[in-house]
Amino acid sequence: MDYSIVKEKRLEYGISQIKLAKYCGLSPATISSWELGKTIPTASQLDSITIALKELIYSIENKGLNIKKKKIQHSKNTEKKLPSKIRTVEEYNILLNHIKTKPTDYKRTLSNLYKNFLSEKADFAPKAISLFSGCGGLDLGFAAAGFNIVGHIEIEPSAREIYEVNFKESKLLGVDVCDVTDRDIDDWKKQFGNIDILIGGPPCQGFSLAGKRNPDDIRNQLYKYYVKLVTAIRPRVFVMENVRLLTSMKTSDGALFIDNIVEEFRTAGYSIAINEINAQDYGVPQSRERVIIIGIRTDINTNNFVFPCPTYLKENIQLTLEENIKCHRTFRDATEDLQNIESGETSSDPLHWSIVHPDHVIEWLKNVPEGCSAHENEDPKLRPSSGFNTTYKRIVWDEPCSTISTNFSMISGCRNVHPSATRSLTIREATRAQSFPDEFVFVGKWGDIRKAIGNAVPPILAKVIADSIMEQLF
C-alpha cells in the first residue's frame, strides 16, 4: 500500500496522526513528516503501519471502537502517565538510581564495558574520528578498547543529542559528511595532529531488505564521501560497517557495490579486509548480520587484517575447540532481571515500559507459544487478516533475539513480541539486546530514541573489532 492511501484511509475514518502513531508505537512527528513528503517510510515501516491501520479500521467497523474518544482504551491494563521524553542526563540518572535489579553476568559485562569507556585515555592512545556516528554504539566499543574519540560527524539532531551527552570530550566536526571541505580537514589536522583511525557506517537503509534496495538511492553513494575523507586524512586504518546485504547489492549498471567500494579504497592506498559476521557470535544476545570492511594504509602494513574468531556458538555445537568458547547469549540473559510488565504497564526503569496494544491483538497473541506467530493459530478468527509468519511472532527466551530494528515497539513488526508477555519489546529490552550498558544515557523523544537504538552498532561487537585492531596495528 502506498503511503498516500494510508493517509486517505486515516482521514476517511477520522483517525488522528496522534492516535495512529500511538497505536503503532511511532511518534506523531514521524507520521507527519511522511504525510508532508519530507521523509519516506521504509518498506518494513510501511508494512507495519498498513497492518496497524487495517486493524484499527477493523475495530472501528466491527468492534464498535469510538475513535473520537480522547483516549483509546486498548487493554484492561491502565497506562501510567509517562513523560514524552527524557530531557537531561541528570533526570535520567535520578530515575536510574531507583532501579533495584540483580547483578547478572551480562549486566556485569556491560558495566565493565562502560567503566572502560569512562577510563582516562593514555596520552599515546590512538586518535579516532567518527563518521555517521549515530548515538555512538560503534564509538562506545572503540572508546572502551582504549581509542580516543576526538571528533564526530552526525546529521540527525536527535541522535547527535544522545551522542553528545555521552561523549562529552568528542568535538562536533560537522553534521553532514557531504559538506566537509579541504579547509575543514586542514583545521582538524592542526587541532588534533595525526588521526590514526576513521570509524563509521554510512546509512544502511539503501542496502537493507527493510528498504527498497534501489541502486540509485542517494544513501548508497555516501561511501564516496567516506573514501574522500580517508584519502585526505590518511589514517593508519579505517573501519566501515554496514548490513550484510551490501555484499549482494548491485549498481544500476549491474556491478556489485562492494566491488566498487573496495576498488576506490584500494586506489586511495589501502589494503582491504572484508568479513561477514553475526553479532551473536561475539557475545551480543541478538542475531544481527553485518559486513565489516577494514582498510590498512599500504605503506605501514601490507598484511591482511585477521578478523577475530567467534567466541560464542550455538548451544548444540560441541565446544571442544577452546576453553573460552561459550554458548550464545540469549534474550533471557539480557533481560532476566527486568520487571514483568504487560501491555500498557510501566516499571521503575524509565526505559522499561510498554505501549498499549489493542484488545483484539492481545486476544490473537495471548496463547501463542514462544517462537510462534499469531498467523499459526488453529482458530482462523484468531489470525491477523494480513502480514507474514514473521509478524505477530514471539521471540524465544533461550536464544538470541532477532535483529533490533527501528520499529521494535510495533507488535505487528517482524519478531517483535515478547517471549511470554503479550506486548512488543520495550526500549530497555532493545538497549540490552543491542548491548548498551544501562549507564549509557538516552535522551529525547521516545520515537527518536528507538530510531537511534535500531540504527546503532552493538557496542560489544564494536569492542571486539576494536580490541583486535589495537592488538594488530597499535
Of residues 204, 309, 372, 401, which has the active-site annotation? 204
Tell me the pLDDT of the chain averaged across its residues. Answer: 86
Distance separating alpha carbons of residues 456 and 440, to the nearest angstrom: 13
Q: Cell numbers of 379, please? A: 482458530
Q: Which residues contact 110 (CB under 8 A, 6 or more apart)?
A: 432, 435, 436, 437, 438, 460
Mean pLDDT in residue range 204-209: 47
Q: Look at the chain and report how many structural domains it folds into.
A: 2
Question: Which pLDDT belongs to residue 289?
Answer: 94
CA atoms within 13 A on the CB side of 227: 16
What's the CATH number where 47 sits? Answer: 1.10.260.40
Question: Which pLDDT belongs to residue 80?
Answer: 44
With a cut of 70, say whether residue 445 has pLDDT above it: yes
Q: Quick: pLDDT tens for 190-203.
A: 999 999 999 998 87
Question: Which pLDDT belongs to residue 118?
Answer: 94
Q: Does residue 205 or residue 76 have the better pLDDT?
A: 205
Band the pLDDT of 104: cuts 50, 70, 90. confident
Q: Is 24 a catalytic residue?
A: no
The answer to whether the CB of 458 falls within 8 A of the CB of 135 is: no
Give yes or no: residues 145 and 199 share one domain. yes
Q: Quick: pLDDT tens for 246-280.
A: 877 777 777 788 898 999 999 999 999 999 999 99
What are the residue ranges of helices labelled H in 168-251? 182-192, 223-233
Band the pLDDT of 218: cuts 50, 70, 90. low
Distance separating alpha carbons of residues 274 and 295, to the nearest angstrom: 9
Question: Which pLDDT belongs to residue 403?
Answer: 96
Give yes or no: residues 54 and 134 share one domain. no
Instruction: List the domain range (segments joined by +) for residue 35.
Output: 1-72
Band the pLDDT of 93: cuts 50, 70, 90. confident
Question: Which pLDDT belongs to residue 63?
Answer: 62
Angle at 90 between CA 89 and CA 94, to 5 degrees: 120
Band the pLDDT of 45: cuts 50, 70, 90. confident
With a cut of 50, say whether residue 385 has pLDDT above it: yes
Q: Dihedrals φ, ψ of 277, to 5°?
A: -130, 165
Give yes or no: residues 41 and 181 share one domain. no
Question: Which pLDDT belongs to residue 280?
Answer: 97
Residue 190 lies in a domain: yes
Query: Rounded to whole angstroms, what are the CA distances from 53 to 15, 222, 392?
Result: 9, 34, 15
With a cut of 70, say whether residue 161 has pLDDT above it: yes
Instruction: Please give the full DSSP string across 250-289, using - where no structure is assigned.
Output: B-TTS-BHHHHHHHHHHHTTEEEEEEEEEGGGGT-SB--E
The region that residue 380 occupies, defined by phi over 0 for left and psi between -120 and 50 for alpha, beta otherwise, is alpha
Band the pLDDT of 72: cuts 50, 70, 90. very low
Give yes or no: residues 166 and 291 share one domain. yes
Residue 155 lies in a domain: yes
What's the CATH number where 195 sits? Answer: 3.40.50.150
Give yes or no: residues 37 and 134 share one domain. no
With a cut of 60, say whether residue 366 has pLDDT above it: yes
Mean pLDDT in residue range 133-153: 97
Residue 323 lies in a domain: yes
Question: Which pLDDT belongs to residue 12?
Answer: 79
Residue 108 lies in a domain: yes
Least reliable range by pLDDT among 10-19, 151-160, 228-237, 388-397: 10-19
Q: Is the pTM of this model over 0.75?
A: yes
Residue 423 lies in a domain: no
With a cut of 70, say whether residue 85 has pLDDT above it: no
Band the pLDDT of 77: cuts 50, 70, 90. very low
Give yes or no: residues 56 and 175 share one domain. no
Mean pLDDT in residue range 40-44: 74
Q: Quick: pLDDT tens for 316-350.
A: 555 555 556 889 999 999 999 999 999 999 988 88
Burial class of residue 29 (count of CB atoms within 10 Å of its CB; 0-12, 13-18, 19+): middle
Give yes or no: residues 214 and 307 share one domain. yes
Domain end marker among 24, 57, 72: 72
Q: Does residue 15 or residue 249 have the better pLDDT?
A: 15
What element of type H or E holds 111? helix 105-118
Distance separating alpha carbons of residues 94 and 124, to the nearest angstrom: 35
The answer to whether the CB of 104 falls within 8 A of the CB of 336 is: yes
Mean pLDDT in residue range 199-220: 59
Q: Which residue shows C-alpha cell 580516543?
A: 148
Q: Does residue 127 or residue 247 have the better pLDDT?
A: 127
Domain end marker among 53, 72, 91: 72
Residue 93 lies in a domain: no
With a cut of 90, say whether residue 147 has pLDDT above it: yes
Least reliable range by pLDDT among 51-55, 283-287, 427-431: 51-55
With a cut of 90, say whether residue 182 has pLDDT above it: yes
Question: Which pLDDT belongs to residue 34?
Answer: 82
Mean pLDDT in residue range 432-436: 98
Q: Cell numbers of 235, please? A: 589514517
Q: Cell numbers of 231, please? A: 584519502
Give yes or no: residues 115 and 61 share one domain. no
Helix 459-473 × helix 105-118 angle, to 10°? 50
Least reliable range by pLDDT among 210-224, 304-318, 366-380, 414-428: 210-224
Mean pLDDT in residue range 428-435: 98
Question: Which pLDDT belongs to residue 78?
Answer: 37
Whole-angstrom Cα Rg for the chain: 23
The answer to whether the CB of 258 falls within 8 A of the CB of 266 is: no
Q: Which residues contact 451 (CB under 8 A, 6 or more apart)?
A: 156, 158, 159, 406
